[in-house]
Amino acid sequence: MAERLMGVETEYAINGMCGQDSADRAAIVSSLLDLARALPNVRDATSSGMFLENGARLYLDTGLHVEYATPECPNPWDAARYVEAGHRTMLRLLEDFARGPARGVEAGCFRVNVDYCGSGATWGCHESYLHKVDPSLLAYHLIPHLVSRIIYSGAGGFEPFSAGLRFTLSPRAAHIQQAVSSESTRARGIFHTKDEPLCSDYHRLHVLCGENLASQRAMFVKFGATCLVVAMVEAGLEPGLGVQLASPLEALRTVASDLTLRQPLRVERSAGMTALAIQKHYLALAEAHQHDPFMPPWAPALTAEWRRLLERLEEGPAAVDRVLDWAIKLSLYSSHAGRYGLNWDRLPFWAEVTDRLLERLEIPAPDGPTFLDQVTGPNTPIPEKAANLAKLLRAKGLDWEELRRVLAERANFLALDVRFGQLGAQGVFSQLDEAGLLDHRVPGVDNIEHAMENPPALGRARWRGAVVKRVAGEIDGDWKCGWDRIFSRKHGRLCDLSDPFATREFWRPGPPF
């Protein structure tokens, strides 16, 4: 199978303010979905959501968040393009909402990955890759890739379960608890065993450890490289040989926390390899076979971009601080620390101090700088520990006041990270991009407005979109849609989309079930 299909599900966080007060999030989400029903669509056969005229699916998912699933895309340009089309669709709905009856409510939509407010929530960017591999073979070959690709696919931000400010390449990594898992809302795994093909004669790899990204280049390489790894496994090349991680979870934590990109990972039958070296391993194999018949026609272009990105990463974070989400954030946040009078390099130390103090105090989180009054005041519940820490700080030329300033500014950093991913003109990434300060765009990821209303040219999404566009306005219709079928009980007709590479509309009579 030379042609490939992939898809992306973006989970959006929604919030709203009415003056200084929080607005009813459920009401905002409900209003946005009501507004979406004014778009050309056919009702989802399995939920209250809908399929749009570009072949995508928009619906309400668990946790009261809106989710946009792209149509099946034949290449990484389209995958990134339709992710962007989802963002534009959400922005259009927000604009319609702002003109509606709830005029005093300012709603926001965010491509974020974790909640810093203590709820433990995380929003994911799930990927799907069509394949014909025995699913039991995939974990072995994919896990080293999924762990090491964080060096370009990480969203960046702060560790969500730390009471301090500890920067990480991947905030969502803190929510991954197993190497392999069938769970998607708890006990999540690096590799997800879900295999729901939604078509005939194929399997579907479902990746849920990824993150929502703003950089087109990061998205492009993430989707394309992972798709090529799957293609190589399908062809029997065994790309995971020689890079098996001794402890995948430990490696995940190491990569996420390593801002130098130089920390070696424990690899079986090896003295250790960096995440960058593991990615080079996969890339070298893809380059050696990029012109083979089993590879998609876009493989050479993808491997060229993959190599350029890894070569820049070899130079360190500064070489990609206008390109990749995590590196853009690292540069931005460290600059902000300087403006706040904080030493960025000491923030991990203060995070460790804060987390250890919280363990001793047995409280969930510090209440800003007043937390220090509980620790250092005359009534401290841990006098010996506080005295020993104060002595340690003096030996390092530090004092409690610096930690007080860190805790006082913590909320500002977390708010900045949330606003980084906000859609629209208020988003920090959008502002940097508009000012011409970034270099993340990929030639070919364009025509976003067209992608909002039209499906990809290859595969069944083309026909799904065409049918949705045609029947959406039927007043007397009772059309419903799924990934593999569109049907009307009233008309007694069904469009069979079970072939993911369908080259025409295939209609047959009868009920769908």
Integer Cα distance of 331 and 457 in angstroms? 39
- Cβ atoms of 158 and 177 closer than 8 Å: no
Residue linked to tokens 């960017």: 125
Active-site annotation holds for 61: yes
The two structure tokens encoding residue 54: 């570009």
| Sign of the dihedral defined by the CA atoms of residues 209, 421, 158, 439, in that order | positive
Question: 380: helix, coil or strand?
Answer: coil
Neighbours of 441 (CB within 10 A): 15
For residue 308, what are the contacts with CB-CB under 8 A and spacing of at least 6? none
Whether 67 contacts 58, CB under 8 Å: yes
CA 345, 347, 353, 356 torsion-angle sign: negative
- Tell me how far apart the alpha carbons of residues 135 and 137 are, in angstroms, rounded to a whole number: 5
- Put residue 156 in one of left, alpha, beta given phi > 0 → left and psi -120 to 50 → alpha: left
Stated length of the chain: 513
List 21, 34, 44, 61, catalytic entry: 61
CA distance 478 to 159: 47
Give the DSSP H or E segment for 249: helix 248-257
- Helix %, strand %, coil % of the chain (to 5): 45, 15, 40
Beta carbons of 60 and 49 less than 8 angstroms apart: yes
With CA atoms as reference, report the closest residue to 206 among 142, 249, 257: 142
Give 493's Cβ-side CA count (13 Å radius).
Answer: 10
Asked whether 452 and 88 are in contact (CB, 8 A), the reply is yes
Which residues have C-beta within 8 Å of that of residue 49, sequence separation ≥ 6? 33, 43, 57, 58, 59, 60
- Point out the residues that are catalytic: 61
